Structure 1
Amino acid sequence: MEKRELLASFEELEQMALQMQNTIAAVKEELDELVEQNAELEIENAHLRARLQELDARKKPRVDRTTKNGLSKSRQNLEKLYDEGFHVCNVDNMYGSRRINDEPCVFCQDVIYGERR
């Protein structure tokens, strides 16, 4: 192979690598959106199931609004989002953004469990 052919091959390989990098970034962004949408749909599904149960048990008075671990349903939803890897705190407008490597966030935990401690 001549030097020019080698250089041309290298430039072509570089362009292919850049295209692949762009494709991977786009797929990752779509995957993040799908994970977020899935979490929202799971929460909505849980709300709908709870509403159906309320309608079925209309005659029974509702006594306790807290359930699992003493958390209200809204805090359970926040806990679920947090467990899915999203921020639920409002610090620096982080709500809804992904937690990098699922690192713990003291502010999010305070929002979820703050009154219980």
Structure 2
Amino acid sequence: MVKPLTLKMKALEARAQDLLSEIKNLKNVVEVLEAENAKLRQQLIMMYDVQNNDGTGYIDTPNKVTGRQNLANLYNQGFHVCNIYFGQIRDSECLFCAAFLHREQG
């Protein structure tokens, strides 16, 4: 005859193993996201030519680019600039992005 305390301990052990498994899965997801983040940071560094950065977070170049031009450049490089899919890679043209980029400045 199994005692109730032993059953509770076995149930607790099973829950702990399930929790550990879930933590391992989340750890794998975090590693993938961190790798993607590092890749995107490198792309931004290459895109903005950080060698001219004076440490303030602003790039000191004679030909400053406007925010709208930066968004257009990102769109042309294959990224969404609309508020729905911002930053995700585009597979085709996006009407939301196009509407945003062609909206009159006001």
Please report the TM-score for the alignment, with normalisation by the length of structure 2.
0.46
The structure with the largest helix share of the pair is 1
Q: Which has the higher contact order (CA 8 A, sep 6+)?
A: 1
Q: What's the TM-score, normalizing by structure 1?
A: 0.43
